[in-house]
Structure 1
Amino acid sequence: MKLPILICAAAAWLLASTVPAAPPSVRNGGGEDILLQGFHWNSSRNAPQKWYEVLTQMAPTIGQDGFTKIWLPPAWTDQSSWSDPTSGTSGGGEGYFWNDFDKNSQYGSDGQLKQAVAALTNAGVQAVYDVVPNHMNDKLAGKQVRFPRHLKLWRDDCATPSDCDQGDAFMSGSADLNTGNAEVSSRFMQEFRNLRDNYGAKGLRFDFVRGYAPERVDIWMKNFGDQAFCVGELWKSPNEYPATDWRSQASWQDALKDWSDRSHCAVFDFALKERLQNGNVAEWRHGLNGNPDAAWRQAAVTFVDNHDTGYSPGQYGGQHHWPLSDPMRDVAYTYILLSPGTPTVYWPDMYDWGRGDLIRTLIGLRKDAGIRADSPISFQSHYSGLVATTNGSRKRLLLALDSDLAKAPDGFTPVLLADGQRIRVWQASQAPSDTTTTLHCDNVQPNPGQAVYAVGSPLELGAWDPAHAIALQPSASNRWSGSVVWPTQQSVEWKCLIRNLSDINEVYWQADPNNRFVTGAANESVGRF
């Protein structure tokens, strides 16, 4: 059953990829990418093969699985090491405490890196390098990039660090570079061009962006390639900002969008990650990728877990600072892969932990529907769980996740049932656009303890299920009204309904016939008792 979906998806995506897209307002790769995080926390300790050898071997599979870009680990040499005798843990060499721009690292040699990128490029997968401009290991004399300790090149060179550094301190700040210094900034600019020109970089993933100014990232990207892909890791909750900063009283979404607007890069959707961790499924709509404004959705790079937040195969299970519980992972992948934003799949979920078949099917559905980073999405909050419709460029997908939605409305065909029916997906033809219709119920006089509803054929009106009808409000004498946003050119049949507030099964229907109209052709529709 899954195979035809994948074949159709591949054909449709190949056709669509020949049509040039308009330049995005944010450097998100054009909006059609699916990103694979091509490593985990313990990949630098992979044996017997070096990690770059694994990537070379896996490149054809990665391309066939539908990924268009791969997020590679930091390429710079990292000779750091640490151990904690109390806990018996140790580590180092992952690339985040690098000491030199040399490309011979714990992940493999310079030559093995070039071989891996060439294999990925041949498979149609573009390389996005993880870069760490905020901090480095400055404790290896003679084995490091030389940033002399003078002229305010380091954060702790300054009497008042905030006067010369453009962001938060990393750890104590002792290894924290002042990226605002012209010498430091130009060295990174030169190295980013080197990654582009000699190591196949088509984009950059910026680590710890809370440590330097988003405007600095914009300067680097203009030099690297103004339309190249870039994404920033802004893992900082509102309560971590000073009380005098407006972001301390704002939402996760607000802070992320502000960084994206100033850097002109995409940003990891930590607003969605926070809801994945702390909210119920219905609240996932509050991620950056579920924002009503398309400009916010196209800035979102969505993910379930990564090398920092999630578990990793191997030593100590990796970092797992903020992992999503295992029972929610399939549901979460269904949401990010079938909704707006640029989705990121974590390597262990795809290739180590048995989720590959589901993820391949979801990628196929996404490409077949033509879902983009800025695709419209609508949520139906009168159902339990999460019910959403994503309108792709070719098809609409209806998702019901942990939901009591009994059945899909007419016109939708089931395409996926998984995880004991916690995941249900249907598809239908593309909707041209949305329109708003005001529904009125006249001659209504509900008794105390009763309320007036509209119920009907579309999903937005409960698909004729009184339990999921939408509530109307009194608007005039004996008239109750409510507005509904739905796709245009949709034939609608509906009725007024009086429902007992304490007994959902006690309902009183408007007499036949049904009220009928076509969305977009009328701004109002009236039913009468």
Structure 2
Amino acid sequence: MGSGNNGFEDNNLQNDSGALVRSGREILFQAFNWESHKNDWWKSLEGKVPDMAKSGFTSAWLPPATHSFSPEGYLPQNIYSVNSSYGSEHLLKALLQKMKHHKVRAMADIVINHRVGTTQGHGGVYNRYDGIPVSWDERAVTSCTGGLGNRSTGDNFNGVPNIDHSQDFVRKDITAWLCWLRHNVGFQDFRFDFGRGYSAKYVKEYIEGAKPLFSVGEYWDSCNYNGHALDYNQDSHRQRIVNWIDGTGQLSTAFDFTTKGVLQEAVKGQFWRLRDRQGKPPGLMGWWPSRAVTFLDNHDTGSTQAHWPFPSNHIMEGYAYILTHPGIPTVFYDHFYDWGSSIHDQIVKLIDIRKRQDIHSRSSIRILEAQSNLYSAVIGEKVCMKIGEGSWCPSGKEWTLATSGNKYAVWQK
């Protein structure tokens, strides 16, 4: 078992590299969806910064800001150009400036597993990067995706050249670019795209080199299923995420895909799923909450891609769960700004309770009920919550109702 499961909690809030300056009180906001590139995005977000700050978000994850072969930004080409389909360098810097003024950290989307070549090289493949800063030859591309580098240290991202991080010159150039994003462009936090694509030890090196204030990795693989039914036991799934975090030297957090997978089945009337065999939450959050970044949907799972969407009529039960629980919660743009002011205001209320009662990534949790139609828990001994159709309220006069909505309620002391 990895570090997450042996009851070990870290105290290295500020290690020597300065890479960890986390309080465990972060509340993240994913500030885009799959269609955002169509909408003059940097400008549009700039107008929302005061509301993001007032709502309590500490960090906003922005879409990939670099020049890309695809408008969404996930097929980078000239990485030193931050003129993208989301807007010009000038507009990006204005947005980052405004975020800094409002004390919302800017999180860069770091896409370094794959990169589209500019020139055909070995084998007639676009596996050379000529005529742009960071010009690499075919050695920078893994041999399994048409280059002359070594075999990949992870899973292939098909259809485009995958970068060989085992090459010293590649790592040197990537580290220099990450430092440039931090110090010249103004990003403070990093989100590592497609963490399955290359060894986590390279993420460790990049974090140590560029020293982001906060990092989160996307290590997304399938939950455990039996046919179409989700297994109750997801231990091996969360163990794989734990292993990835361990591989980063524990410097990065990771998105809690296990919690998402279990929670979106649980809200359909299977709340018994929300307590594992040890009586803990069943996701990464139950094993290693200080490294678990919880979320309901993102630009891949939700939005117009909808690869694995959270059931839309249960969104508020989902937020009532992640915004009251340990871990580091993330709110998705669509839910917050596109689903109406009632959802926006209910989410803000939950964030407010979290902050007021000082619930953080390491808060204690006691699960009281986990039945088919009801889940309830006490968090940090200061907040009590229930979700589901079952009626329930805490015993004891010290609890007062803080907020409630369709199939959820939260009490505080």
Match of 1:212 in 2: 198
Contact 1:100 1:143 in 2 (8 A): no
Per the alignment, do residues 165 and 289 of structure 1 end up closer, same or farther by CA in structure 2, a change over 3 Å counting?
closer
Match of 2:111 in 1: 132
Match of 1:267 in 2: 254
1:417-458 Cα offsets, whole Å, 9 max, x none, are 211xx1011112xxxxxxxxxxxxxxxxxxxxxxxxxxxxxx
Per the alignment, do residues 405 and 277 of structure 1 end up closer, same or farther by CA in structure 2, a change over 3 Å counting?
closer
User: How far does residue 215 in structure 1 lie from its aligned partner after superposition?
Assistant: 0.7
Match of 1:37 in 2: 30
1:325-346 Cα offsets, whole Å, 9 max, x none, are 1111110011111101110000
For structure 2, the residue ranges without an aligned partner over 5 or more in a row are 1-10, 120-128, 226-233, 276-280
2:137 to 145, 149, 153: 149
Contact 2:145 2:161 in 1 (8 A): no
What are the equivalent positions in structure 2 for 1:182-221 lying under 5 Å apart?
A: 182-221=168-207
The answer on 1:417 being equivalent to 2:395 is no
Match of 2:63 in 1: 73
Match of 2:231 in 1: none
2:300 to 301, 308, 325: 308
* Paired residue type of 2:375: L
1:400-429 Cα offsets, whole Å, 9 max, x none, are 10153533211211111211xx1011112x
Per the alignment, do residues 161 and 209 of structure 1 end up closer, same or farther by CA in structure 2, a change over 3 Å counting?
farther
Match of 1:100 in 2: 78
Q: CA RMSD in A?
A: 2.5
Per the alignment, do residues 99 and 162 of structure 1 end up closer, same or farther by CA in structure 2, a change over 3 Å counting?
closer
Identity in percent: 30
The answer on 1:349 being equivalent to 2:335 is yes
Distance 1:158 1:347 in 2: 34
Comparing both structures, which one devotes a greater share of its residues to strand?
1
Distance 2:369 2:315 in 1: 22
Distance 1:39 1:160 in 2: 33
1:385 to 371, 374, 399: 374
Q: Tell me the SS of whatever aligns to 1:221.
A: helix
Match of 2:289 in 1: 297
* Paired residue type of 1:305: D
Instruction: Give the TM-score of the pair, scaled to structure 2.
Output: 0.83
Match of 2:321 in 1: 335
1:207-264 Cα offsets, whole Å, 9 max, x none, are 0000011110011101111x72000001112669xxxxxxxx9522111111112212
Distance 1:148 1:24 in 2: 35
Match of 1:497 in 2: none
Instruction: Give the TM-score of the pair, scaled to structure 1.
Output: 0.65
The answer on 1:375 being equivalent to 2:355 is no
Match of 2:7 in 1: none
* Paired residue type of 2:292: A
Contact 2:141 2:149 in 1 (8 A): no
1:55-102 Cα offsets, whole Å, 9 max, x none, are 221111111111110101111101x3xxxxxxxxxxx31110111110
Per the alignment, do residues 426 and 159 of structure 1 end up closer, same or farther by CA in structure 2, a change over 3 Å counting?
closer
Match of 1:87 in 2: none
Contact 2:144 2:152 in 1 (8 A): no
Q: Tell me the SS of whatever aligns to 2:382.
A: strand
Contact 2:285 2:292 in 1 (8 A): no
Per the alignment, do residues 61 and 72 of structure 1 end up closer, same or farther by CA in structure 2, a change over 3 Å counting?
same
Contact 1:28 1:299 in 2 (8 A): no
Q: Which has the higher contact order (CA 8 A, sep 6+)?
A: 2
Per the alignment, do residues 261 and 28 of structure 1 end up closer, same or farther by CA in structure 2, a change over 3 Å counting?
farther
Aligned residues: 368
* Paired residue type of 1:137: V
* Paired residue type of 2:54: Q
Per the alignment, do residues 158 and 324 of structure 1 end up closer, same or farther by CA in structure 2, a change over 3 Å counting?
closer
Distance 1:360 1:170 in 2: 37
Match of 1:482 in 2: none
The answer on 1:320 being equivalent to 2:320 is no
* Paired residue type of 1:377: I
Contact 1:398 1:425 in 2 (8 A): yes
Q: Tell me the SS of whatever aligns to 1:298.
A: helix
2:347 to 354, 359, 366: 359
Contact 2:113 2:198 in 1 (8 A): yes
For structure 1, the residue ranges without an aligned partner over 5 or more in a row are 1-20, 81-91, 241-248, 312-317, 429-529
Contact 2:143 2:150 in 1 (8 A): no
Contact 1:24 1:30 in 2 (8 A): no
Match of 1:231 in 2: 216
1:295-349 Cα offsets, whole Å, 9 max, x none, are x0111000010000002xxxxxx21111111111110011111101110000111
1:178 to 145, 164, 181: 164
Contact 1:98 1:136 in 2 (8 A): yes
